[in-house]
Each structure stands twice: as C-alpha cells, then as structure tokens.
Amino acid sequence: MIDQLWLTVTSTAYMVAEKKGQEKLKYRYVDEIARSLLENLPNSAHLYALERINTVGELQTEMWRQVLVELDKLQGEKHERE
C-alpha cells in the first residue's frame, strides 16, 4: 500500500508549488506520485487516482487529474519498452 504520510507531504508540497507558480516542481510531484502508485498498486493505480478525484472534500482534484495523465504516459512508455 502507498505510504499515506509520504503522500500527504508530497500533496502538500504540490499545493505550495502551485501557489508559488512553480510548474516544474508541480510536475515533479505529480510524476513522483504516479510512479509510487504504479510501484505500490500496479493493478489499481488508475482506480486509486479516480477515487481521489471523486472523494468528497478532496482539495486537489486537479493534481489527481494530472496524476492520471502521468500514469497513462508512464504505462505507455513501459509498453513501448516491452
């Protein structure tokens, strides 16, 4: 399972980067979350992100949408290597 403390800290860092307009850092955090999901939840990474988007009160739905895009990208790269 994904480490919730790490996810909370990374999500908070994403929010700080967003408030400061640091696009490169935002992408870095999204990439880290997506890679962690694929590593820890290889069969349900997309589902996890979708659940977060649909969670009532979730403040970072845009971040989770970007995570979904990154998951698609990373899985596409993986299939190209195979």
Q: How far is CA 27 from the centre of its chain?
A: 9
Secondary-structure breakdown of the chain: helix, strand, coil percentages, each rounded to the nearest 5: 80, 0, 20
pLDDT band at 76 (very low <50, low <70, confident <90, very high): confident
Shortest CA distance to 71 belongs to which of 43, 38, 24, 29?
38
Tokens 């480490």 found at? 3
Per-residue pLDDT tens over the stretch 1-44? 788 899 999 999 999 999 999 999 999 999 999 999 999 999 99
Give the pLDDT confidence score for residue 79 in this predicted structure: 67
